[in-house]
Amino acid sequence: MGRIEINAALCKGCYLCIEACRKKHIEIDDRLNVQDVLPVRVIPGTECTACPRCAMVCPESAIEVFHD
Amino acid sequence: METKVFARPKSLTDVTTHYCPGCGHGVVHRLVAEAIDHFGLRDNTVGVASAGCSVMMYKYFDVDTLEAAHGRALATATGIKRTHPDLTVFTYQGDGDLASIGLAETIHAANRGEKITAIFVNNAVYGMTGGQMAPTTLPGQKTSTTPAGRTKAREGSPLRMAEMLSQLDGVAFCQRVAVYDPDQIYEAREAIFRAFETQLEGLGFAFVEVLSACPTNMRMKPIDGQHWVEESMCKFYPLGTFKDDDA
Amino acid sequence: MERCERKTLTMGNIAVAEGAIQAGCRAYFGYPITPQNEIPEYLSRRLPEVGGIFLQAESELASINMVLGASAAGTRVMTSSSGPGISLMQEGISFLAGSQLPAVIVNVMRCGPGLGGIKPTQADYFQATRGGGHGDYRTLVLAPNNVQEMFDFTVRAFELADKYRNPVLILADAILGQMKEPATLVPEYPPLDFDKTDWILNGAHQRPARNLRSMYLEDDDQEDLNYVLQRKYERMEQDEPLAEERWTEDAGLLVVAFGTSARVARAAVTQARNEGIRAGVFRPITLYPYPRAALRALGERIKRMLVVEMNCGQMLEDVLAIVPPDVEVRFHGRPGGGVPTPDEILEKIKES
Ligand SMILES: Cc1ncc(C[n+]2csc(CCOP(=O)(O)OP(=O)(O)O)c2C)c(N)n1
Ligand code: SF4
Ligand code: SF4
Ligand code: SF4
Ligand SMILES: [Mg+2]
């Protein structure tokens, strides 16, 4: 199984990662970040396969992916 | 034991970019930084920035960088590489920069076989100046200076740079890739790695054309920008390896 | 200053090219144009001999930007051209100035405007001394008037370029480039070297990454850069003005001329002296920074001046701005490839 870490401060809110994730593991947060955009967050209770499609498409390199 | 399978490359600085949400430049920056990390080049690389949205790349790459005049990046890079052949030199240029105002510098650097890696971000518009027509703007594409769409009769057809440059003897590696989805981004990474490897092996000029979205000037949501690259740009600009001297 | 040892008959352009080699120039990028082709031709042979790089570029636009790249990486580098080529280089010279990069640019002036012709001129004085390209910048400008100076000033130009991290222009012309005179192609002293390790781009090895640029978009950064440049130009104006004076002690009339015009003026003034006319010559060697203080001091006591140029009165504007208002300034100029003769100038001296 896998896990992602999102650096919310770097997030630009393009949501390409949400589109890229086949596991529907990512959603839009409800609090603005330092850049005044709504970043993304992990949806609790959903799973991650560490594939790592979300990180691949992120233009800000804001996502890191872990595998165990 | 948990392992990190995807890390932010070390050759990227820890700052947010000024790029618009969903802009392809960010992904291409990361791929270049990954190549620099992969080949251990952080300490002996000079990147040459061009006029365009990526002009501030000095903030994002943790390597030495030089700002070139609009279109002249490959001449400037030639000056560095010829006098310092041990440095790894790459240019990072938009379509206006590389294929319009700098076309002569591009063709001649490529033809001389300068041992430089040229990263060419083709987003079919002039991003920085507000979405005017680029030499790569698609037929029929509306821009702020082709309000009724580009026509062959008036503006001519778009330039296919990868095809053109692959004709030149000095070009050792030439590939067109796109960054609209994860699979294509993997391909793009491979190509950019090969382009740096080509320089390290001293084979000649290495060129990667990256089809990339400028959602802001296309007036699209980021995801629609990706789809536009896939559906419209890739149709006009076939992806593929046009030359690989080492293959 | 006389170095009679080992004098050889040398063409002006060759003196420039060998001066560059002796100064430690190890890269040249250029595009052919008459009347300076001997410079690239000579260097295409000579630079490889000393481990340097010669590359014929596809244009002057490419040349000057290759120069910028080589300079940023720490190499002593030069280009040369004339008229239309120097015009094409102006954008790059502006970038060099804005990015604070040293380079030596040789303009062997040919007459214009436009394609013009290959005859000599001094019509690029404005372009050279006012910056030439866009933005508030200056280039140091040295004006040789014989083959020895073509050599010596080229050596000096590399020192000044590195000292100030600024482009330096050699402003010669078709006559100086093509003429042959005995000259010593050995520098008077080992050319000065400047430590560049704290600014060049040579890979961020054991140090933070660096950037060289002319664009500063944040806050007042671009204004700040301009003040940094202006302070540099003030230092140049303080330390670098250079002029040659002849027969000025008792002169009642002063001929002001640079380069080839100054040579002709000196011949005319010699003749005038033979005829009992107390004339003198003031020859600015640095056209920027202009030797203002020296000329102003002469203007305090010499109340008649004759400016001679191979153009329609460009340096004249500087002279008028510098000398006290009670100095009567006359002008004699020959544009479009014309060269004044000593007799012409002598006549003007007699009229003045
Ligand atoms: C000589 C000159 N002309 C025009 C400009 C203005 N300018 C800056 S960037 C640019 C076009 C950039 O487009 P592109 O190269 O496609 O890069 P993008 O912003 O799309 O990444 C233009 C026209 C300039 N900087 N210099
Ligand atoms: S690594 Fe794969 S599964 Fe995990 S969040 Fe990213 S895209 Fe989804
Ligand atoms: S792709 Fe990156 S920048 Fe875009 S929303 Fe996801 S984390 Fe944020
Ligand atoms: S204008 Fe276009 S190219 Fe420029 S940063 Fe925005 S999306 Fe990217
Ligand atoms: Mg573009």
Chain B residue with minimal CA distance to A62?
B8
* Whether pLDDT at B246 is above 60: yes
Q: Is residue C185 part of a domain?
A: yes
What is the maximum alpha-carbon separation in chain C?
A: 71
Contacts of B110 in chain C (CB under 8 A): none
- For position C1, what pLDDT does the model report? 46
Q: Is the complex ipTM higher than 0.95?
A: yes
Residue C245 distance to chain B (closest CA, Å): 41
Q: Of C91, C93, C87, which is closest to residue C71 (Cα–Cα)?
A: C93
Would you state the pLDDT for residue B77?
Answer: 99
pLDDT for the residue numbered B25: 98
In one-letter notation, the amino acid at residue B62 is D
* CA–CA dist B25, B127 (Å, integer): 11
**Domain final position from C216, C239, C262:** C239
Using the Cβ of C197 and the Cβ atoms of chain B, whether some distance falls under 8 Å is answered with no
> Is residue C32 within 8 Å of residue C170, measured between CB atoms?
no
Q: Are residues C95 and C182 in the same domain?
A: yes
Is the Cβ of C198 closer than 8 Å to some Cβ of chain B? no
Q: How far apart are CA C274 and CA A33, in angstroms?
A: 86
Give which of A9, A47, A8 is closest to A25, Cα–Cα: A47
Reported as a single tens digit per residue, the pLDDT across B4-45 is 999 999 999 999 999 999 999 999 999 999 999 999 999 999
Nearest-atom number in ligand 4 for the CA of B20 is 6
CA distances from C340 to C109, C144, C260, C265, C266 (A): 16, 18, 9, 9, 12
Residue B195 has pLDDT above 90, yes or no: yes
> Burial letters for C247-284: b for 16+ Cβ neighbours within 10 Å, e otherwise?
bbeebebbbbbbbbbbbbbbbbbbbbeeeebebbbbbb
**Within-domain flag for C262:** yes
Q: Does residue B119 register a pLDDT over 90?
A: yes
Tell how far the Cα of C220 is from the centroid of ligand 1, in angstroms: 23
pLDDT(B107) > 90: yes
Which of A1, A3, A12 to mutate against chain B (most B CBs within 10 Å)? A12
Q: What sign does the dihedral C211-C213-C217-C219 (CA atoms) show?
A: positive
Span B186-208, average pLDDT: 98
Do C203 and C330 fall into the same domain?
A: no
Q: How far is the CA of C37 from the centre of ligand 3 (A)?
A: 57
Q: Return the pLDDT at C3.
A: 63
* Domain identity same for C220 and C75: yes
Place of tokens 């390790």: C197
- pLDDT bucket at B247, cuts 50 / 70 / 90: confident
Report the length, in residues, of chain B.
247
Smallest Cβ–Cβ distance between C68 and the set B44, B58, B76 belongs to: B76
User: Domain limits of chain A?
Assistant: 2-67
In whole angstroms, give the CA distance from residue A40 to residue A28.
4
Is the distance from the beta carbon of residue A58 to the nearest atom of ligand 2 less than 6 Å?
no
The CATH number for C269's domain is 3.40.50.920
Instruction: Give, in order, the Cα–Cα distances in Å from C257 to each of C109, C112, C267, C271.
Output: 16, 20, 12, 16
Give all chains having 3 or more CB-to-CB distances under 8 Å with chain A.
Answer: B
Per CB-CB distance under 8 Å, the chain B contacts of A65 are 4-6
Closest of B65, B86, B62, B61 to residue B76, by C-alpha = B65
Ligand with smallest separation from the Cα of B51: 1
| pLDDT (0 to 100) of residue C6 | 82
Question: Atom 4 in ligand 3: which residue has the minimum CA distance?
Answer: A14
Is residue A48 within a helix (H) or strand (E), and if so which, with residue range? none
Look at the block and give the residue holding tokens 């390209």.
C133
CB B178 within 8 A of CB B211: yes
> DSSP state, B141?
-
Ligand closest to Cα of B92 equals 1
Please check whether residue C2 lies inside any domain of the structure. no
Instruction: Note whether C69 contacts B77, CB cutoff 8 Å.
Output: yes
Q: In Å, how far is A22's CA from the nearest CA of chain B? A: 12
Pocket test for ligand 3, best of A14, A33, A53 (most atoms within 8 A of CB): A14
Q: What is the pLDDT along chain C (352 residues), one digit of tens a residue?
A: 456 668 999 999 999 999 999 999 999 999 999 999 999 999 999 999 999 999 999 999 999 999 999 999 999 999 999 999 999 999 999 999 999 999 999 999 999 999 999 999 999 999 999 999 999 999 999 999 999 999 999 999 999 999 999 999 999 999 999 999 999 999 999 999 999 999 999 999 999 999 999 999 988 999 999 999 999 999 999 999 999 999 999 999 999 999 999 999 999 999 999 999 999 999 999 999 999 999 999 999 999 999 999 999 999 999 999 999 999 999 999 999 999 999 999 999 999 8
Q: Which residues of C touch B105 (CB under 8 A)?
A: 58, 61-62, 65
What tokens does B121 get?
A: 């971000």
Strands (E), B35-80: 45-49, 64-67
Residue of B nearest to C204 (CA): B43
In this complex, the chains that touch B, judged by 3 or more CB pairs closer than 8 A, are A, C
Q: What is the pLDDT of residue C219?
A: 87
How many domains would you assign to chain C? 2
Are the beta carbons of C79 and C105 closer than 8 angstroms?
yes
- At C188 the pLDDT is 93
Answer whether the bond into residue C289 is a cis peptide, omega within 30°. Answer: yes
Give residue-wise pLDDT tens across range B157-175: 999 999 999 999 999 999 9
B–C touching, 3+ CB–CB pairs within 8 Å? yes
Can you give the residue range of the structural domain that contains C281? 243-351
Chain A partners of B7 at a C-beta cutoff of 8 Å?
Answer: 64
Contact B58 C29 (CB under 8 A): no
Cβ distance of B16 and A12 shorter than 8 Å: yes
Domain boundary among C194, C213, C239: C239
Q: A2-67: what fold?
A: Alpha-Beta Plaits (3.30.70)
Domain end residue (candidates: C176, C206, C239) = C239
Assess whether C15 and C117 both reside in one domain: yes
Which of B5, B6, B10 is the best substitution to test chain A (most A C-beta atoms within 10 A)?
Answer: B6
Which chain B residue is nearest to residue C200, measuring alpha carbons?
Answer: B64
Same-domain check for residues C95 and C163: yes
B25-244 belongs to which CATH class? alpha beta
Residue owning tokens 């010559």: C281
Quick one: tokens of A62?
């804001």
Looking up residue C98, the CATH number of its domain turns out to be 3.40.50.970
The best mutation among A15, A41, A49, A66 to test binding of ligand 2, ranked by most ligand atoms within 8 Å of the C-beta, falls on A49
Same domain, C235 and C326: no
Which residue is listed with tokens 């990072």?
A: B92
- If asked whether residues C216 and C269 sit together in one domain, one would say no
- C219 burial via Cβ count (<10 Å: 0-12, 13-18, 19+): exposed
Nearest CA in chain C to B55: C215
Domain boundaries, chain B: 25-244
Would the pLDDT of B123 be above 50?
Answer: yes
- Domain co-membership, C139 together with C257: no
* CA of C270 vs chain B CAs: smallest distance (Å): 48
Selecting from A14, A59, A68 the residue whose C-beta is nearest the C-beta of B1 gives: A68
Cβ of A16 below 6 Å from ligand 2:
no
Q: What is the pTM of this model?
A: 0.97
